[in-house]
Amino acid sequence: MKLTILGATGSIGVSTLDVVAQHPERFEVVALSGHSRIDVLAAQCTKFRPKFAVVGDVLSAEKLQAQLHRESVATEVLYGPSALEHISSLPEVDAVMAAIVGAAGLAPSLAAARAGKRVLLANKEALVMAGSVFMDEIKKSGAVLLPIDSEHNAVFQAMPDDYAGSPMARGIKRILLTASGGPFRNRALSELADVTPEQAIAHPNWTMGKKISVDSATMMNKGLEVIEAHWLFGVPAAQIEVVIHPQSVVHSMVDYVDGSVIAQLGNPDMRTPIAQALAWPQRISSGVAPLDLCAIGRLDFEPLDLQRFPCVALAYRALNEGNNRAAVLNAANEIAVAAFLERRLSFLNIPTVISATLDAVESVPADDLASILEADRYAREVATIACQRCHL
């Protein structure tokens, strides 16, 4: 199978290459992309010898090309958004790992969908922003969409084969998304006011990129995942529930009308969902340690406290209201998280900025890419001002 890996230098990208390296007879890397950490990308090119590597701008491209030239690596270096779309739709590529973080991943993920590739989707923001457009492109091209997000990958594994189109007709009652609750599950609300970026990105169970780590601490990550689940599986918001499960061993569940609940379990290591999607419908080894339930001892479940985690309620609100709401939510969240990471916004003001942005941006239909991108652009402007108005 010939692969393009978007966001190869990130947490998911590195885990993907780890699985790929374990099965050299099975996978060939055709293209890689990276936005920063050009040295990491250079080392990946030296090891995997892709035909193309894509970076963000001309300076990074020149730096990378010179480095590869010195090491006699023949990879051709391209740059910019159109190059990302190019490597996502190359005729010789079978599958695209979409692992760019945030809205920047939308256009190349869509290009892969349009080109009918096997799309391994980690970039949940693409579905949150443009769920209906994305799913339409998948249907039109006959692309195969496989979720990488561990919860959605678990749900996919627990779903009947023929769920597509009408999951309710297949006896599905609810999707139960599990959530670790992040690093602040047990902290008093009053202690959250002066949380630092370092504390927020120290996730108890998973090692991930900075943005998703902050999203996990606010639990906006789970809110985005509710929206993601809605589009992936065609299940209404009212039938998608969140359950706190601190151990992150049960990755999610499907509850059926006959009382059966099917769960997928495993150690919290993204190489499992990555290997599942790379090999589907077959199974390959991933390098993940076997699950030792006796060593784990117990699995706990608790209801979600929406007071403590208002971001989840904001995401349900956006999903229920439809129109441009989810794109606005996502954009405001990206701006607020970036401001928090740069110490310009306090942790508790992240939901304040998102809520103010949802209120300030008019709810209008956004069912094509142009209107979604306009909602994204305008919401970023509004959220930037909202961040400035919030005193730390």
Q: Which does 338 bind (CB under 5 to 8 A by kind): Mg ion, ligand NAD, none?
A: none
Q: Of 151 and 356, which CB lies nearer to ligand NAD in the complex structure?
A: 151
The least CB distance from residue 268 to ligand NAD, in Å, is 9
Q: What is the 3-state secondary structure (H, E, C) of the chain?
A: CEEEEECCCCHHHHHHHHHHHCCCCCCEEEEEECCCCHHHHHHHHHHHCCCEEEECCHHHHHHHHHHHHHCCCCCEEEECHHHHHHHHCCCCCCEEEECCCCHHHHHHHHHHHHCCCEEEECCHHHHHHHHHHHHHHHHHHCCEEEECCHHHHHHHHHCCCCCCCCHHHHCEEEEEEEECCCCCCCCCHHHHCCCCHHHHCCCCCCCCCHHHHHHHHHCHHHHHHHHHHHHHHCCCHHHEEEEECCCCCEEEEEEECCCCEEEEECCCCCHHHHHHHHHCCCCCCCCCCCCCHHHHCCCCCEECCCCCCHHHHHHHHHHHHCCCHHHHHHHHHHHHHHHHHCCCCCCCHHHHHHHHHHHHCCCCCCCCHHHHHHHHHHHHHHHHHHHHHCCC
Question: CB-wise, 4 or 356, nearer to ligand NAD?
Answer: 4
CB of 128 to ligand NAD, least distance (A): 10
Listed ranges 32-40, 129-137, 183-191, 286-294: which one lies at the site for ligand NAD (CB under 6 A): 32-40
Residue 64 touches which of Mg ion, ligand NAD, none (Cβ within 5-8 Å per kind): none
Among 61, 64, 83, 104, contact with ligand NAD (rule: CB under 6 A)? 104
When CB distances to ligand NAD are compared, the closest residue is: 10
Q: Which of 4, 7, 113, 269 binds ligand NAD (CB under 6 A)?
A: 7
**Binder of residue 209, out of Mg ion, ligand NAD, none (CB less than 5 to 8 A by kind):** ligand NAD
Q: Does 208 contact ligand NAD by CB under 6 A?
A: yes
Phi, psi dihedral angles at 140 (to 5 degrees): -60, -40
Residue 34's binding partner among ligand NAD, Mg ion, none (Cβ under 5 to 8 angstroms by kind) is ligand NAD
Q: Which of 3, 4, 11, 118 binds ligand NAD (CB under 6 A)?
A: 11
Binding of ligand NAD by 310 (CB under 6 A)? no
The pattern of x and - marking residues 137 through 166 that bind ligand NAD according to CB under 6 A reads ------------x-----------------
Choose the one of Mg ion, ligand NAD, none that binds residue 101, judging by a C-beta under 5 to 8 angstroms depending on kind.
ligand NAD
C-alpha 51/C-alpha 158 separation (Å) is 37
Backbone angles phi, psi at 178, to 5 degrees: -90, 155
Nearest CB to Mg ion, comparing residues 56 and 147: 147
The answer to whether the bond into 81 is cis (omega within 30° of 0) is no
- Using the rule CB under 5 A, is 149 a contact of Mg ion? yes
Report if residue 101 touches ligand NAD, rule: CB under 6 A.
yes
Binding mask 108-127 for ligand NAD (x = CB under 6 A): --------------xxxx--
Out of 2, 23, 204, 206, the only residue in the binding site for ligand NAD (CB under 6 A) is 206
Residue 35 interacting partner from Mg ion, ligand NAD, none (CB closer than 5 to 8 Å by kind): ligand NAD
Residues within the interface to ligand NAD (CB under 6 A) = 7-13, 34-36, 56, 99-101, 104, 122-125, 149, 206, 208-212, 270
Interface residues with Mg ion (CB under 5 A) are 149-151
